[in-house]
Amino acid sequence: MSESRIYTKLGDDGSTGLLYGGRTSKADPLIDTLGSLDETVSTLGLARASATGQTLAAQILRVQRDLFVVAADLAANAHARDRLVPEVSLVTAAMAARIESLIDDLIGRRPLRPVFVVPGANLTSAALDLARTTVRRAERRLVACLSRPDFRQRANPHVLTYLNRASDLLYVLARHAAGDDEEPLSHDALDDS
């Protein structure tokens, strides 16, 4: 019986594999973008594990799965993009539209308070806020990648839209998870020092 090993040694030279072949430097800004997405998925795992309701856990899981689609889309070899499958390895406009619909529904049920909030009402809301910040970082890094003409020519415009909507959704989910226990930002606390 042969054993499966997690290490391949292929990355020992500082490169990493692309989806459908090819390699690129681990220092490539695109790989940095993918790293931020990986952090987001992991942080969402913490949020999902601590979520008290099935509905919230399912909503978080959906975002996690969508972010795998985003990562596959970004990591695909430029010469193999025709092999990508919508909503499996290719981001679609419908993915962002689903998020918009969910945001509208959630805000309709619980309007956002018009104040800045201090994250940390509970573990779930704090993890969702952390995930929001890492997806925002991925979005910023993707914008930097898009400044390269070679990347911009092959980039899927739906990816950037999806990431922007995902961060909005994570903000709304965090507010829902926090409930009424959330602390608004108060200048009074600063005045007491």
Which residue type does 183 have?
E
Half-sphere exposure of 125 (CA within 13 A, CB side): 17
Polymer length in residues for the chain: 193
Q: Maximum CA pair distance of the chain?
A: 68
Average pLDDT of span 119-130: 95
Span 31-46, pLDDT tens digits: 999 999 999 999 999 9
Tell me what pLDDT residue 170 has.
98
Structure tokens at 170: 């994570």
Sign, Cα dihedral of 45, 96, 122, 140: positive
Share of the chain above pLDDT 70, in %: 93
Q: What is the DSSP string of the chain?
A: -PPP-S--SGGGGSEEEPBTS-EEETTSHHHHHHHHHHHHHHHHHHHHHH-SSHHHHHHHHHHHHHHHHHHHHHHB-GGGGGG--BTTTB--HHHHHHHHHHHHHHHHHSPPPSS-EES-SSHHHHHHHHHHHHHHHHHHHHHHHHTSHHHHHH--HHHHHHHHHHHHHHHHHHHHHHGGGPEEP-HHHHHT-
Residue 3 has pLDDT above 80, yes or no: no
Average pLDDT of span 69-84: 94
**In this structure, how many other beta carbons lie within 10 angstroms of the beta carbon of residue 7?**
7
Average pLDDT of span 80-103: 97
Span 102-120, pLDDT tens digits: 999 999 999 998 888 888 8
Tell me what pLDDT residue 188 has.
55
Tell me what pLDDT residue 89 has.
96
Distance, first Cα to last Cα, the chain:
66
Tell me what pLDDT residue 4 has.
81
Q: Which fold has domain 27-181?
A: Hypothetical Protein Ta1238; Chain: A; (1.20.1200)
Which residue type does 10 have?
L
Domain boundaries, the chain: 27-181
